[in-house]
Amino acid sequence: MGPPALTFNTLKTAAPPLAEAGLGISGLAAERDGVPVLFDVSLEVGPGQAVALLGPNGAGKTTTLLAVMGLVRVTAGRLTWDGGALTHQPPHRIAAAGIGWVPEERRVFAGLTVAENIEVGRRPGRPPAAGGDWHDARLAELFPPLARRWRQRAGLLSGGEQQMLAIARTLAGNPRLLLLDEPSEGLAPLIVDQMAAALATIKADGVALLLSEQHRGFAETLADRLVGLARGRVVEGTGDGFSR
């Protein structure tokens, strides 16, 4: 039998919770395929906040997101969500608790239409963030380029449109925390601006955002806090004046 179901607001760990609302990460260490990759990562993301992980290739940004999603082995530290323990929960329970993952590779279903891809992401019964349900009309308003291609196959979309679709599909499940791996990677400048505007709207809706970013400008536009990672550790992290 797996670990007990997450019952938020009732499930409290013995130690004081990191954050009563949103995501808490404290002293996180994790490994991939038996190789230690994260050694000491701590941060918090509250509802309606955005935190960007910055750092060079191999710093551990993706691994931090994977650890939140339960997709790598956590060897030390704590993960909490709305004050309840998240550490060592299986990915499907983490997803059911309202955490959505947008992988770097996008992974849209090329043979399905935009509308069908979004339908795949629906998670009926999951309570939405403060702004309400992400139904089709809201998603189309959020990403106008998708609205124009609603009945087209996803394989025909540009890279930027596929990135929008990957986000829209995850949003369709009404997550209250969105994990985004390099959302601006490989996008044309105009598309990057559209992406930043859309993510700002999602944030204003009350959704918490934790993103991995290589582009500092994009991160600064969007994030309330920047957290610098190097070799699996937080090297700098602050609300303002962050520098590397």
Ligand X SMILES: Nc1ncnc2c1ncn2[C@@H]1O[C@H](COP(=O)(O)OP(=O)(O)OP(=O)(O)O)[C@@H](O)[C@H]1O
Q: Does 126 bind ligand X (CB under 6 A)?
A: no
Strand ranges (E), the chain: 23-32, 35-45, 50-54, 73-81, 84-85, 99-102, 177-181, 208-213, 225-230, 233-238
We find the least distance from the C-beta atom of residue 55 to ligand X, in angstroms, to be 5
Contact 66/72 with Cβ under 8 angstroms? yes
C-alpha 109: how far from chain center: 20
d(CA 221, CA 58): 24
What is the C-alpha end-to-end distance of the chain, expressed in Å?
A: 46
For 198, how many CA atoms within 13 A lie in the half-sphere containing its CB? 29
Indicate the residue among 65 and 168 with the shorter CB distance to ligand X. Answer: 65
C-alpha 59: how far from chain center: 17
Chain residues 2-41 in contact with ligand X, contact rule CB under 6 A: 32-33, 35, 37
We find the least distance from the C-beta atom of residue 234 to ligand X, in angstroms, to be 12
Site string for ligand X, 195-214 (x = CB under 6 A): -----------------x--
Indicate the residue among 55 and 121 with the shorter CB distance to ligand X. Answer: 55
We find the least distance from the C-beta atom of residue 20 to ligand X, in angstroms, to be 28
Indicate the residue among 96 and 230 with the shorter CB distance to ligand X. Answer: 230
Indicate the residue among 55 and 83 with the shorter CB distance to ligand X. Answer: 55
Chain residues 50-89 in contact with ligand X, contact rule CB under 6 A: 55, 57-63
Indicate the residue among 50 and 65 with the shorter CB distance to ligand X. Answer: 65
We find the least distance from the C-beta atom of residue 229 to ligand X, in angstroms, to be 6
We find the least distance from the C-beta atom of residue 63 to ligand X, in angstroms, to be 3
* Burial label, 212 (beta-carbon count in 10 A; 0-12, 13-18, 19+): buried
d(CA 240, CA 94): 31
Indicate the residue among 55 and 160 with the shorter CB distance to ligand X. Answer: 55
Query: What tokens appear for 90 in the block?
Result: 């299986």
What are the residues binding ligand X (CB under 6 A)? 32-33, 35, 37, 55, 57-63, 212
